[in-house]
Amino acid sequence: MPTPPESSGQATEATTPTDASSASSSDALPTVKAIYTDGACSGNPGPGGWGTVLYFDDGSVHELGGRADQTTNNRMEMQAAIAGLQALIATGQTTPVELFTDSEYVKKGITQWISGWKRRDWQTSAKKPVLNKDLWQELDTVNQAAKQQTGAPIQWTYVRGHTGNVGNERCDEIARAFSQNQTISLKQHPQARHLNA
| Local structure of 158: helix, strand or coil | strand
Known catalytic residue: 6? no
Known catalytic residue: 38? yes
| Candidate list 38, 63, 169, 173, residue with the active-site label | 38
| Candidate list 48, 63, 65, 102, residue with the active-site label | 102
Contacts of 74 (CB under 8 A, 6+ apart): 39, 103, 105, 106, 131, 132
Enter the DSSP assignment of 43.
S
CB 26 within 8 A of CB 147: no
| Candidate list 13, 151, 162, 164, residue with the active-site label | 162
**Angstrom distances, CA of residue 62 to CA of 35, 91, 95:** 10, 12, 18
Q: Nearest to residue 142, comparing CAs of 55, 40, 37?
A: 37
List, in sequence order, every beta strand (DSSP E) within the chain: 32-41, 46-56, 61-71, 98-101, 155-158
Annotated ligand binding at 57? The verdict is: no
Known catalytic residue: 19? no
| Candidate list 77, 167, 169, 189, residue with the active-site label | 77
How many H-runs (helices) and E-runs (strands) does the chain carry? 5, 5
Annotated ligand binding at 27? The verdict is: no
Known catalytic residue: 57? no
| Candidate list 48, 63, 84, 172, residue with the active-site label | 172
E strand or H helix at 167, and its extent? Answer: helix 166-179
Annotated ligand binding at 77? The verdict is: yes
Q: Which residues are annotated as a binding site for Mg(2+)?
A: 38, 77, 102, 172
Q: Which residues are annotated as a binding site?
A: 38, 77, 102, 172
User: Which active-site residues does the annotation give?
Assistant: 38-39, 77, 102, 162, 172
